[in-house]
Chain A
Amino acid sequence: MLRFVCFFLVVVAGTAGELCISRAMKEAGEVHDFRLGALLQVARRVARIKWIWIGLLLMTIGFFALLGILSVENVSFVVPVTAMSYVVGGLGGMLFLGERLDRSRWTGILLVCLGVALVILGRH
């Protein structure tokens, strides 16, 4: 049960965190100037956006869940299963960001699901 919760947190909290950070960075605007002073200004601007903090919190939860699962499972099992984030990301993008998933993207997502199922079946 604890393993399932950890996998769930790695995939869902990790992906939700990335979506929040992506939203915050889009709000902050594209970075054109890579000089230190300009980057610090961007950092200050980003720090005022609430989504960056929500994203960082969710990604931290996902990271500690990953450490938890790695303490008991093989890395060659854990990392492929976390590819389920492509499924969560695809569905999240469609439901929350209004993205349109065409047939080939669904095919790719279904292949990832099939691959994860095979990894789980081939666990022992």
Chain B
Amino acid sequence: MEAHVRHRQLRLKTQFMILIMVLAGPLGNTLLAKGMKEIGAVSFSSLSVVLETLGKVLSSGTIWMGIALMITFFIAYSLVLSWADYSYVQPASAMAYAVVAILGVLVLHESVSPLRWLGIGVICLGVIVVGRTHPNTTEAR
């Protein structure tokens, strides 16, 4: 009974961390995109223009929020991998590609063509197939 409860807790903990990953990563990317669109197209015409853009990037609250969410994603990813199988976590994290497209449409009003949705679906499928292979191919055999 106790083992059953522990198993359930571990499952819930893993699914909660994956949920954080699948939300924080795409939301972070979306905020970075929003911040960069506010700053405008990056130009490398001269050093002063590059430095001016860098200053705008580093003083943008939206970009810092995006960075904080990317760090949250990275910490959740590292933590979950310390107890859960990579082959369990990685396919679930493939969902992030679909979530980022949904956020692009909802938050940034991007238009996504049916062909792009199909491509995103195929990428998710590919990531899941990679995740189902053995995670370590270099161990002694």
Chain A residues within CB distance 8 Å of chain B: 2, 31, 66-68, 70-72, 74-80, 83, 86, 90, 97-102, 104-105, 107-124
Contacts and interface: CB of A to CB of B under 8 A. Distances in A.
A74 B100 CA distance: 10
B128 to A, nearest CB: 7
Contacts, number: 147
A71 B39 contact: yes
A74 B110 contact: yes
Contacts of A117: 119
B126 A99 contact: no
B115 A122 contact: yes
Contacts of B20: none
A79 to B, nearest CB: 4
Given A75-B103, A119-B123, A121-B115, A104 B129 contact: yes
A79 B94 CA distance: 11
Interface in B83-141: 96-97, 100-101, 103-105, 108, 110, 112-134, 137-138
Given A78-B33, A86-B130, A115-B125, 11 more contacts: A66-B32, A70-B33, A75-B29, A79-B26, A79-B96, A83-B126, A98-B138, A114-B122, A115-B121, A122-B114, A122-B116
A71 B138 contact: no
A118 B122 contact: yes
A94 to B, nearest CB: 9
Interface in B1-46: 26, 29-30, 32-33, 36-37, 39-42, 44
29 contacts: A70-B29, A75-B100, A76-B101, A76-B105, A76-B110, A76-B116, A77-B116, A79-B97, A80-B116, A83-B127, A86-B126, A86-B130, A105-B130, A107-B129, A108-B131, A109-B130, A111-B125, A111-B126, A115-B120, A115-B124, A115-B125, A115-B126, A118-B118, A119-B116, A121-B115, A122-B115, A122-B117, A122-B118, A124-B113
Interface of B: 26, 29-30, 32-33, 36-37, 39-42, 44, 57, 63, 82, 96-97, 100-101, 103-105, 108, 110, 112-134, 137-138
A117 B127 CA distance: 15
B122 A115 contact: yes
